[in-house]
Amino acid sequence: MLGGTGAFDLVAIGEAMAVMSPAPGVRLAEAGALTLGTAGAEANVARTVARLGARVAWVGALGSDPLGDRIVADLRASGVDVSYVVRDDSAPTGLYLKDTDHNRATSMYYYRRNSAASKMDAALLRGLPRRRVLHLTGVTAAISDAGLQLTRAALLGQHEGLVSFDVNHRPALWQGRDAAPVLAELANAADLVFVGLDEARSLWGTDTLESIRQLLPRPETVVVKDGEIGATAHLTGRGAQFEPAPPVDVLEPVGAGDAFAAGYLHALILGKPERERLRCGHAAAGRALVSTDDVGSDVVGGRA
């Protein structure tokens, strides 16, 4: 198993949002009712890893409002420790809406400007709990200058255990800023990096495993995901290992990348070999792909 005796197996720092969705196949403009849930890249990872049986804490900021109450309740119900969550009286909890057309294509509409999460900064790192794995993503770095300060401080500062970073490039969030060098800098400060092949191509112009690894030489492991094809882990000094993705009848792709990271991280925490980590990542992603819930709905028995 992964070394260390921290209080938590995994601590995830970042954004959580409320999400409202119509029934599958129903347009948002035509819906008579919406389902309320919890989303956000880091929160998705925290919930999934906790459901798989690990000791997990989520660190972030929410408004002192009913949506923040709902997110705290959802995280707690998934087994996530929420004692490090900051509640902000001066800013709301972020929200996004899903819109599914009749061809089952999903669009998202985000309402996070001036949210409590957008105001998070490096002060959030004070009193960070002990952990074996610290997980962050490029989303928090993109939502505000303060979020970038927080992410950079978490990755570049002194830390214990393994540091995991999912590039999670969201072009709309960068609003004309050049994300490429920033996300490369942040990824190179981590021990473990997750990035999609198509994501790396659009962000950095790197379209092979070798070119991605040349750009990111410092992490011990770089996991490159190639959609329905599979995923490859490139390990420093140990070459590359590829694991094909099992076929899945996709209902909705939202949250699958977060689920993959969560499945992989849970297997890593358990000390599983590299190929098994990739398999567990695919299994968790598969559960998300066949569900309209960002974290999937059938994680049982503490198994990935």
What are the residue numbers of the active site?
A: 258
99 three-state secondary structure: strand
Q: Maximum distance among all alpha carbons in the chain?
A: 56
48 three-state secondary structure: helix
Q: How far apart, in Å, are the Cα atoms of 75 and each of 144, 284, 287?
A: 24, 18, 18
Q: Please state whether 70 falls in left (phi above 0), alpha (psi between -120 and 50) or beta.
A: alpha
> Residue 104 carries which DSSP code?
-
Taking the alpha carbons of 14, 15, 16, 22 in that order, is the dihedral positive or negative?
negative
Question: Which token pair is 248?
Answer: 């899945």
| Residues 47, 60 contacting (CB under 8 angstroms) | no
Helices and strands counted in the chain (H then E):
10, 15
| Residues 184, 216 contacting (CB under 8 angstroms) | yes
Closest CA to 169 of 183, 148, 153: 183
Q: How far apart, in Å, are the Cα atoms of 39 and each of 125, 151, 275, 295?
A: 22, 19, 28, 8
